[in-house]
A and B are shown apart, each in its own frame.
Chain A
Amino acid sequence: MNMGGAIRAIISFLIFVVLHYTLRPLLGWRAPMDFLILALLLAAVRVRPSSAAVIGFILGLISDSLAPDALGAGALAMTTVGFGASYLKAVFFADNLVLNAFFFFLGKWVFDIIYFIGEQRVHGVELVQQLLLWSPLSAAVTAAVGVLLLFIMRPLLEPTPA
Chain B
Amino acid sequence: MPAASATTEPTAERTSRKRGAPPARGAAPGRRRQFTTRRGLLIAAFMAPAAVFVAVFTYYPMLAGSQMAFRNWKMTDLTDTSWVGLKNFRDIVTDPTWGTVLGNTAVWVLGSIVPQLVIGFALALWLRRRFRFRGVYQALVFFPWAISGFLIGILFRWLFNSEFGVVNDLLQKAGLIDEPVAWLADPHKAMAAVTIANIWYGVTFFAIMLLAALQSIPDELYEAAALDGAGKVRTLFQVTIPYIRVTLVLTVLLRVIWIFNFPDLIFGMTGGGPNNQTHIVTTWMIKITQQGDYGRASALGLIVVAMLLVFALFVLLATREKRGTKA
Are A and B subunits of one complex?
no
